[in-house]
Amino acid sequence: MIVIVDYDAGNVRSVQRACVEVGGDAVISNDPAAVADAERVIFPGVGAAGAAMRNLRARGLDAALVAAVEAGKPVLGICMGMQIALDRSEENDQETLGLVPGQVRRFAFANPALKVPHMGWNAVSVRRPHPLLNGLEQGDECYFVHAYYPAPADLEVVCAVADYEGEFCCALARGSFFATQFHPEKSGRVGLGLLERFAAWDGRA
Amino acid sequence: MLSKRVVACLDVRDGKLAKSVKFVNTRDIGDPVEKARQYYLDGLDELVFYDITASSDRRRIILDVVEAVAEQVFIPLSVGGGVRSVADATDLRLAGADKINVNSAAVRRPALIAECADAVGGQNIVLSMDIRHVGASRAFPSGHEVVIDGGRQPMGIDALAWVREGERLGAGELVVNSIDADGTRDGYALQLTRMISDATRLPVIASGGAGTPAHLYEVLTEGGADAALVASMVHYGNYTVSGLKRYLNERGVKIRMSW
């Protein structure tokens, strides 16, 4: 059973529908006990880092997520669920979960033709093989919507990058935690494939 | 870099697919869920539903359509038509819409843009504008006027002034729909699209007038658009989504080619 963590930060039902499409058994919950009991956990989210952390802490979900990762349970972060796994975000100057050392920074471009948020389809290039990225081919694109990007301190965690006036980390892994900046639930076949592999993943790289 | 997007628009009336010519004489052309799934499997980058239902139970009907499509289509879904309040926007989001289009109600009450942006995130609010060429004048420095209610009602607002106001209020994207080009299949309003692309940092979806693949190429290059919206071109089977994308890709437009 996959538990999709609901903390008022996004379209959890889109993620659930995509899990159902690939044959995953997924429920939505905001209960830390459900996270503790889950076989695997998806941690989605859009919106601002400050509100996301407030909502997580108010329900005790922050500690539940950290405990799940420490226990070696497969956990997938998506978008804001990736960003708040790092130590700190420039958005709302917010301290975050600290599952992965590093910062989250805002895109800042001198070129006015480059738009923020980075919104649309962009190519995902695999930098380090990972079971969840098996099957991704050169040129495969995923759907992004974000104004901030993760900058992990340890480049070893970077699994894939995308290019938006320079490369940024769009997929990372640390132990049984895997996260994407893009939205697999909105990335067609490529994204569904990732979710299908997550539904069967044992949490080991 | 981001790929340019091919976006298909499904006008939905009473839960069925309709297509208008110059915003009148709509006729039913099929099941929106079936079409949506077909385009998704054929490489569509984004789907827009425009609800043109006039009946009083319209909200329930469109929510059912969005929900049914969201179960089968795993690309961004954008929904508009008659969004008048934050409740309309949040209901559509819960049903499965990623982006909410606001149009006439936002022209009448611009604060709607800021309220919806606050509720569901500015990046998810699309300001859809119906624009008519009127010639440059003191009242319309851009030579274009905003019209509402399906193109019937002129509002005395300059198109570029509305673009700037929409951006200031927190919209995340613009649909530029030319009333003059809509349904003609003679090509997008290139000059209008370019003018607006140059005046904003928001992504621009060009709408109205697509008749041949070359029209998409023109608006994504000369027109400066980030996305090209198609309707009748693909609805009647004259062109396929994948065929359009191949055409653009062969001509050097950056486009998503694996799906």
pLDDT of residue B22: 47
pLDDT of residue B27: 53
Cis peptide before A117 (omega within 30 of 0): yes
Exposure string for B141-172, b = 16+ CB within 10 A, e = fewer: ebbbbbbbebbeeeeebbbbebbebbbebbbb
Q: Chain B residues with CB inside 8 Å of A120's CB?
A: 2-3, 5, 45, 203, 226-227
CB contact under 8 A, A17 and B96: yes
Mind listing the pLDDT tens digit for each residue in B93-110?
989 999 999 999 999 999
A148 touches chain B (CB under 8 A): no
- Distance (Å, whole) CA A87 – CA A97: 6
Separation of first and last alpha carbons in chain B: 18
Q: How far is CA B18 from the centre of its chain?
A: 15
pLDDT of residue A181: 97
Range of the domain at A7: 2-198
For the beta carbon of residue B215, count every other beta carbon within 10 angstroms. Answer: 23
Mind listing the pLDDT tens digit for each residue in B210-235?
999 999 999 999 999 999 999 989 98
Residue with tokens 């769009």: A170
- Distance (Å, whole) CA A55 – CA A46: 13
Beta-bridge mates of residue A115: none
Does some domain include residue A170?
yes
Q: Chain A residues with CB inside 8 Å of B256's CB?
A: 121, 141
Does some domain include residue A205?
no
Mean pLDDT, chain B, rounded, equals 91
Does some domain include residue A98?
yes
DSSP A100: S
Does some domain include residue A204?
no
CB contact under 8 A, B3 and A121: yes
- Number of structural domains chain A divides into: 1
Does some domain include residue A110?
yes
Q: Which strands form A148-152's sheet, in the order they lie side by side?
A: A94-95, A88-89, A102-106, A148-152
pLDDT tens for each residue of chain A, 205 residues long: 999 999 876 678 999 999 999 998 999 999 999 999 999 999 997 678 888 899 999 999 999 999 999 999 999 999 999 999 999 999 989 999 999 999 999 998 878 778 888 999 999 999 999 999 999 999 999 999 998 999 999 999 999 999 998 999 999 999 999 999 999 999 999 999 999 999 999 999 8
Nearest to B12 by CA among B95, B86, B94, B85: B95
Band (B59; pLDDT cuts 50, 70, 90): confident
**Which CATH number belongs to the domain containing residue A181 in this structure?**
3.40.50.880
Q: What is the ipTM of this complex?
A: 0.93
- CA distances to A8, A71, A200, B103 from A37, in Å: 21, 11, 17, 46
Domains of chain B: 5-250 (3.20.20.70)
Mind listing the pLDDT tens digit for each residue in B70-88?
999 999 999 998 899 999 9
- Distance (Å, whole) CA A30 – CA A41: 12
DSSP A136: -
Beta-bridge mates of residue B16: B13
pLDDT of residue B57: 64
